[in-house]
Amino acid sequence: MKKIYFITLLLISKNLYSQQKQFSDFYELKKNYEYLPENDSRAFQFLNKAISLSKKEKNNYQLVQAYKDAVFYTPSSKDKLKYADSTILSALSTKDSDLISDAFLGKGIIYYFNYKKYKSALDQYLKAYQYSENTKDEYLKNEILYHLGVVKSYLGYYDSALEHFQKANQFFYNGIQEKAHPNIIFNNKKGYYNTLHRIIVCQRNLKNYKTLNSLINTGLSQTQNNPDYTQEYGYFLKEKGIEAFRNKKFTSAISSLQESQRPLLKIKDFSWATVNYFYIGKSYLANNNPTKAILYFKKVDSVFQKHNFILPELRENYELLIFHYKDQKDTDKELYYTKQLLKADRIINKDFAYLSSTIHKEFDTKILQDKLNNTNSLGAWIVGILSSVAITLMLLLVMKEKNERKTRINYKILEDKILNSIYTLAQDKIKIEIPEHHGETEKCPLNENLVENLLCKLKSFEDKCGYIENGLTINKLAHKLRTNSTYLSQVINDHKGMNFNRYLGELRINYITNKLYTDKVYLNYKIETLAEKCGIASRTNFSNLFREINGMRPTEFIKKRQEYITKNTDDSKKNFPILSSTKKIIL
């Protein structure tokens, strides 16, 4: 019995020693890289060993930590996502809700910070939120709260976002005051400074300027000359520059914003870097230096081209570029930046629709339901219903404003085309080319004289507006032009770049659009009448085709044209007032 007891004790001791050794081996490896800066690939000479060790021992808790470290130290955004997925898989195998929540949050942060893909980031944040519902980890809760606030801030829900940031900021501030491990203090300070920055951004957008200087100075004084918080120092400098711009201290604004760029570009935070470019440009513009201003506005566009991302507050950047090139009478660049603005609006609108509905449905509604479950009062139900109605109305108002903005831009594009005489068929160029015959399935080449003759007849047909005839078909037109429909169809396809129906449709819509722009009488016609005037039988077909070609409904175009005419008439009256008949005009 004593022998058996001794052997058993020896085996237990050996097992415990082995576990302790495994634990030590992992953290011995970690000691070699844990003080390296973020994105430093030197860590991987030890990290790869740590990952292999954790896999070998089937220690998923250590493996989660190793993959999290890999996310932190790899400089590649693509690899960060790869390691984030590995972190999630390892966390799921532990069945530890806190680890799983943290892993999803980590992937969301990569989508947000490295890619600025808010939709993908929000999906991960909400998964993290779901797994954290029963957590006792307050740091994790407030970290998720912060990132959901970031999404709301992007959407322009500054009041709601501010509540998130203030709550998280207080938590991180309390964490700094406690005695804890240096790493915990460091993380709490990071959380505190980042939430403080976001509070400043929200207060600025809500126009609560009274406390801004105090908050900015707090952030600057605590992060200045501290290598651990250069990123946060750059954020506070950015806000200092924007506040200086608001106070018309343009030289000071440029100085702060340019100094802010160094730490932001170092960490490749292109999102806030574009905000700096924008306000530097505006400051130069206010200082009567449009050449330098345009240079910085173009930098915003170059970032947009590269990353296909733009913050909603930077829309004005394109409006300023459009106005500049309009004044310079540079039509090509004016149209280019108008198209860029339309592209930016499409991206923002697409993101807005998804983000706003998702965060309301998956997060705000859940929070509201939890509150209602804790109280049975009628008042709480009424508050809940009113809150939902208010959010819905706000969404509708924002979407209406975005649609109005898009309509204004589309009208501007149409106006430029009409005024610059480029509102014609896209490929309306006569070019006589006889295609080569490559086999029996190829179209039969037409005689050169026949093609030239048909093109001349089509030119006459267009000049005389023959296309507005109701019920016109390719057979009828072929008969009028004394040819057959096969020849006519082939010539239109080859030399107009479209089929007959599209050719006829574009001619009709271009005709009626020019009439609406140049003849005020047409602005008073009903849609049915306008359709009939250009030869289209159906109101619906006319409206849909008008929108497809012009980017806006005929009703929208008419409304904008009437607004423009009314505005110009009012301006003329101001500049040339009507004199009373009782006053004498002295020449």
- Transcribe 244-307 into DSSP letters: HHHTT-HHHHHHHHHHHHHHHHHTT-HHHHHHHHHHHHHHHHHTT-HHHHHHHHHHHHHHHHHH
**Are both 58 and 112 inside the same structural domain?**
yes
**Whether 556 and 472 share a structural domain:** yes
Give the type of residue at 541. Answer: N
For residue 497, the 8-state DSSP code is S
Q: Is residue 429 part of a domain?
A: no
Alpha helices in 464-582 (DSSP H): 474-480, 485-496, 500-518, 527-533, 539-550, 554-575
Residue 324 sits in the same domain as residue 266: no
Give the angle subtended at the CA of 472 by the CAs of 467 and 476, to the nearest 5°.
110
344/464 same-domain check: no
The pLDDT of residue 582 is: 31
Q: What is the CATH number of the domain that holds 100?
A: 1.25.40.10
Q: Name residue, tokens 């914003």.
A: 257
User: What's the gap between Cα 109 and its chain centre?
Assistant: 17
How much is the pLDDT for 569? Answer: 66
Give the position of tokens 């301006």: 571
**Are residues 385 and 494 located together in one domain of the fold?**
no
3-class SS at 443?
A: coil
| Look-up of token digits 């966390």 | 91
Residue 168: C-alpha distances to residues 127, 131, 141, 161, 339 (Å): 19, 19, 9, 11, 40
Q: How far is CA 392 from CA 14, 225, 472, in A?
A: 65, 46, 47
Asked if the structure places residue 442 within a domain, the reply is: no
Q: Could you write out the three-class secondary structure of 272-289?
A: HHHHHHHHHHHHHHHCCC
- Tokens representing residue 179 in the block: 């005695």
- End residue of a domain, out of 309, 329, 360: 309
Is there a domain that residue 158 lies in?
yes
Q: What are phi and psi of 102, to 5 degrees?
A: -65, -35
Q: How far is CA 142 from CA 120, 139, 159, 160, in A?
A: 20, 5, 18, 15
| Residues 143 and 119 occupy one common structural domain | no
* Single-letter amino acid code for the residue at 366: K
Count of domains observed in the chain: 5
**Domain stops at, among 263, 280, 309:** 309
Same domain, 112 and 148: no
Q: What is the CATH number of the domain that holds 530?
A: 1.10.10.60
Distance (Å, whole) CA 523 – CA 561: 8
> DSSP alpha helices (H): ranges in 32-76?
44-56, 60-73
Please report, for residues 390, 466, 489, the alpha-carbon distance to residue 454 in angstroms, rounded to integers and kept in the order given.
Answer: 62, 15, 11
Averages of pLDDT over runs of 10 residues in the chain (587 residues) are 44 45 73 88 93 92 94 94 95 94 95 90 92 91 93 87 94 92 90 96 92 95 94 96 96 96 91 95 95 96 91 90 92 90 84 72 57 49 55 62 66 70 47 40 67 90 91 91 89 88 92 89 91 90 88 88 78 46 29
> Are residues 317 and 344 both part of a single domain?
yes
Compute the distance between CA of residue 127 and CA of residue 101 in angstroms, rounded to an integer.
Answer: 7
Domain boundaries, position 294: 229-309
Question: Is residue 427 in a domain?
Answer: no
- Do the domain assignments include residue 428? no
| 11 lies in the same domain as 118 | yes
User: What pLDDT is attached to residue 213?
Assistant: 93
CA distances (Å), origin 278, targets 159, 266, 267, 273, 297: 24, 19, 19, 9, 6
Q: What's the pLDDT score for residue 441?
A: 42
Task: Answer yes or no: are the C-beta atoms of 355 and 118 closer than 8 Å.
Answer: yes
Q: Cα dist. 274→81, 101, 317 in Å? A: 24, 32, 10
What pLDDT is stored for residue 305 in this prediction? Answer: 93
CB atoms within 10 A of CB 364: 18
**Cα→Cα distances 448→97, 432, 433, 480, 491, Å:** 76, 7, 8, 20, 11
pTM of the model: 0.61
CA angle, residues 446, 451, 454, in degrees to nearest 5: 135
Q: What is the CATH number of the domain that holds 171?
A: 1.20.58
Asked if the structure places residue 434 within a domain, the reply is: no
- Rounded distance between C-alpha atoms, residue 37 and residue 347, angstroms: 34
Reference 113, options 312, 277, 272; nearest CA is 272
Asked which of 113, 135, 157 is the last residue of a domain, the reply is 135
Q: Which is nearest to 124 in space by CA: 84, 92, 157, 95?
A: 84
In angstroms, the Cα distances linking 507 to 397, 421, 425, 504 are: 36, 14, 7, 5
Whether residue 223 lies inside any domain: the answer is no
Residue 550 belongs to some domain of the structure: yes
Q: Are residues 324 and 264 in the same domain?
A: no
Residues 460 and 542 in one domain: yes
Claim to verify: residue 167 and residue 266 sit in the same structural domain: no
In three-state secondary structure terms, 314 is helix
